């Protein structure tokens, strides 16, 4: 029999699924998906997308909106919110104090995609990525030329650096070297090197799927650094025959495993969205260099995956269960956002390692973040 693209990809997914856990190629039986599942529409997202999944679900249910239009409207909420320092307006800047944004999207029914990276001065990079998809024969545009494209398409150039993000950048800069000419200030605020992203994936009532990821990237990054978010197959990926997936967290770890693509391929091979997210995290650990592992071999970074299948099933997984004291005060921190017929809500992450396995370095960062959250509540 001739080998078609579909049979090749399907067999590849089965091989990858076996190798992820055993190191050997093992076939997995394909699980048929129910295309009449009542759990559609369904939208899944990172935790900061709780308002967004509610909006996207409403648009698909009430207005029969295209799934990509719906989820982009969902992530626009965060992109335009100056209080969210993870994306868009108010995102944390690079080492030079400049906000550089990345985004990508995919449209399942048409098999098209668009992406922008190192985009400056435009609040909604997700919409610019969609414009690349809609109006050009390209998929990715970067830097000043991506900005010029956005301006040519009618987007408005604006200052993205809010005063809050500027102050956080100044605090970081002041603490780089105790002997420099920058004075420390606001000692009660502990500045981390945070990452911030929103990924959202949706399937409509007809089983059509789309995905989008948008971010301001790693705070204080070297100018020009690009993470996983704008790279098709890493920050997000969708296949209208199977499902969609995306990620937040350490982009460099995800890039090496093409995590979003791999998660969808695991689902193609028969795994549930939840199982697929966990297996992709295990693959990321297997591909981690020694300098990012503690003495027991556990990774010292965070990475999360979110996935949705064509029949409306969903899942979310993270590397570590949060410390008990963390979850007691901020239980929502160990969760992701979902919206379907049961409403918009936060669901608890599944995790690869429980909170007894957290490396000392990672736990120290979590506790510092906990202190920052406590300070913000006062």
Give me the residue spans of the domains in the chain.
5-377
pLDDT band of residue 181 (cuts 50, 70, 90) is: low
Q: For residue 43, count CB atoms less than 10 angstroms from its CB and return exposed for 0-12, middle for 13-18, buried for 19 or more.
A: buried
pLDDT surpasses 60 at 335 = yes
Q: Which of 236, 269, 219 is nearest to 104 (CA)?
A: 236
pTM confidence score = 0.86
pLDDT on residue 25: 28
For tokens 């610019």, what's the residue? 128
pLDDT on residue 15: 42
Given a contact cutoff of 8 angstroms between Cβ atoms, the answer to whether 126 and 105 are in contact is: yes
pLDDT on residue 1: 38
For tokens 């603490």, what's the residue? 175
pLDDT on residue 367: 78
Where is average pLDDT lowest: 13-27, 260-274, 293-307, 351-365? 13-27
Quick one: what percent of the chain has pLDDT higher than 70?
84
The active-site residue, picked from 197, 214, 280, 318, is 197
pLDDT on residue 328: 78
Angle at 281 between CA 71 and CA 370, to 5 degrees: 75
Radius of gyration (C-alpha) of the chain in whole angstroms: 20
Rounded Cα gap, residues 89 and 262, in angstroms: 31
Given a contact cutoff of 8 angstroms between Cβ atoms, the answer to whether 209 and 238 are in contact is: yes
Where is average pLDDT lowest: 33-42, 224-233, 289-298? 33-42
CATH node for 5-377: 3.60.20.30
Angle at 352 between CA 349 and CA 358, to 5 degrees: 100
Check the CA dihedral 355-304-253-20 and report its sign: positive
Helices 67-79 & 50-63, crossing angle to 10 degrees?
A: 150
Across residues 221-249, what is the average pLDDT? 97
Question: Has 197 been annotated as catalytic?
Answer: yes
pLDDT surpasses 70 at 333 = yes
């Amino acid at each position: 029999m001739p080998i078609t693209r579909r049979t090749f990809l399907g067999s590849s997914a089965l091989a990858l699924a076996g190798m992820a856990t055993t190191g050997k190629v093992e076939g997995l039986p394909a699980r048929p998906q129910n295309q009449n599942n009542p759990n559609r529409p369904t939208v899944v997202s990172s935790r900061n997308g709780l308002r967004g999944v509610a909006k996207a679900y409403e648009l698909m249910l009430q207005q029969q909106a295209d799934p990509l239009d719906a989820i982009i409207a969902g992530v626009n909420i965060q992109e335009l919110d100056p209080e969210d320092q993870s994306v868009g307006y108010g995102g944390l800047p690079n080492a030079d104090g400049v906000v550089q944004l990345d985004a990508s999207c995919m449209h399942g029914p048409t098999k098209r995609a668009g992406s922008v990276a190192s985009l400056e001065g435009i609040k909604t990079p997700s919409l610019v990525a969609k414009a690349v998809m809609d109006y050009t024969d390209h998929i990715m545009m970067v830097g000043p030329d991506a900005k010029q494209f956005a301006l040519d398409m009618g987007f408005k150039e604006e200052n993205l650096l809010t005063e809050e993000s500027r102050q956080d950048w100044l605090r970081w800069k002041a603490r780089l070297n105790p002997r420099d000419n920058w004075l420390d200030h606001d000692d009660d605020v502990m500045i981390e090197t945070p990452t911030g992203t929103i990924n959202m994936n949706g399937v409509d009532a007809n089983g059509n799927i789309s995905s989008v990821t948008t971010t301001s990237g790693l705070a204080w990054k070297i100018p020009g650094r690009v993470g996983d978010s704008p790279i098709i197959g890493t920050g997000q990926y969708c296949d209208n025959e199977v499902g969609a997936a995306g990620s937040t967290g350490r982009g460099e770890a995800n890039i090496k495993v093409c995590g979003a693509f791999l998660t969808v391929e695991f689902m193609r091979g028969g795994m549930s969205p939840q199982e697929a997210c966990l297996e992709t995290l295990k693959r990321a650990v297997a591909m981690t260099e020694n300098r990012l592992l503690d003495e027991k071999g556990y990774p010292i970074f965070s990475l999360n995956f979110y996935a949705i299948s064509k029949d409306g099933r969903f899942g979310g997984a993270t590397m570590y269960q949060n410390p008990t004291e963390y979850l007691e005060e901020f239980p929502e921190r160990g969760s992701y956002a979902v919206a379907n017929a049961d409403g918009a809500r936060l669901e608890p992450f599944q995790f690869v390692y429980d909170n007894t396995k957290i490396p000392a370095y990672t736990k120290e960062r979590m506790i510092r973040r906990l202190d920052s959250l406590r300070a913000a509540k006062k």
